[in-house]
């Protein structure tokens, strides 16, 4: 009988979030062979928007860009079980990074790494620009369906059986004096599936 390794929940959650963001950035769309609908009339006027544009759209985009960049750097770290050579501290504070650093230490100790990806569906759920320190809350649906963990020997490590493949993670992101958005808290919640 072989022993089954369980991953610390924060590591799994963090990895899932990172992979998801990278997948979200690549997006999906029509290929080069995509053709416009034959029913499109050349003389039709553009349709008026049913709702006004979001006045916070640019701010929300900046928040999500920082959150996504943190995950890109985090996945770089998970692939080699080390934060060396990453820019994690450009996007997250020590408080937010402490969980990731513990995960990386455990991975290094156990000779494990991540080769798969984590899916993300992140959105800014709350935005408070009137606060002394402008703050946003990001809700992210983490998708582990493409997550691949393995020992450094290449031996695959399955996810724990109780691990949901899709769950919610929340992050607090603050705008600092230099106009940089920083992830200050990250909290995966495996009990909230999505």
Q: Which residue has the higher pLDDT, 22 or 123?
A: 123
What percent of the chain is modeled with pLDDT above 90? 54
Q: Do the beta carbons of residue 67 and residue 173 sit within 8 Å?
A: yes
Task: Identify the burial level of 194 via C-beta atoms within 10 angstroms of its C-beta, where 0-12 means exposed, 13-18 middle and 19 or more buried.
Answer: middle
Comparing 7 with 152, which gets the higher pLDDT?
152
Identify the bridge partners of residue 167 per DSSP, sorted by sequence position: 142, 193
List pLDDT tens digits, range 32-53: 444 444 444 444 455 555 667 8
Phi, psi of 113 (to 5 degrees): -155, 175
Domain 9-25+55-193: which CATH number of 1.10.357.10, 3.30.450.20, 3.40.50.2000, 3.10.450.240: 3.10.450.240
Whole-number Cα distances in Å, 63 to 131, 172, 176, 180, 185: 15, 10, 12, 9, 13
pLDDT at res. 151: 93
Signed CA dihedral, 111, 151, 88, 137: sign only: negative
58-77 mean pLDDT: 95
Interatomic CA distance for residues 42 and 108, integer angstroms: 60
């Amino acid at each position: 009988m072989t022993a089954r390794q369980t991953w610390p929940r924060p590591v799994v959650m963090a990895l899932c979030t990172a992979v998801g963001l990278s997948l979200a950035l690549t997006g999906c769309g029509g290929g080069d062979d995509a053709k416009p609908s034959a029913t499109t009339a050349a003389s039709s006027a553009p349709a008026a928007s049913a709702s006004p544009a979001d006045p916070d759209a640019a701010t929300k985009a900046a928040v999500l860009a920082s959150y996504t960049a943190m995950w890109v750097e985090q996945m770089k770290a998970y692939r080699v079980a080390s934060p060396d050579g990453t820019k994690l501290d450009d996007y997250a504070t020590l408080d937010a990074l402490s969980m990731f650093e513990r995960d990386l230490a455990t991975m290094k100790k156990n000779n494990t790494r991540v080769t798969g990806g984590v899916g993300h569906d992140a959105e800014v759920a709350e935005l408070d620009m009137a606060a002394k320190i402008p703050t946003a809350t990001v809700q992210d649906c983490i998708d582990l369906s493409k997550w691949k963990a393995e020992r450094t020997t290449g031996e695959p490590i399955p996810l724990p059986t109780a691990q949901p493949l899709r769950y919610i993670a929340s992050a607090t992101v603050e705008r600092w004096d230099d106009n940089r958005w920083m992830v200050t808290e990250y909290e995966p919640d495996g009990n909230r599936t999505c």
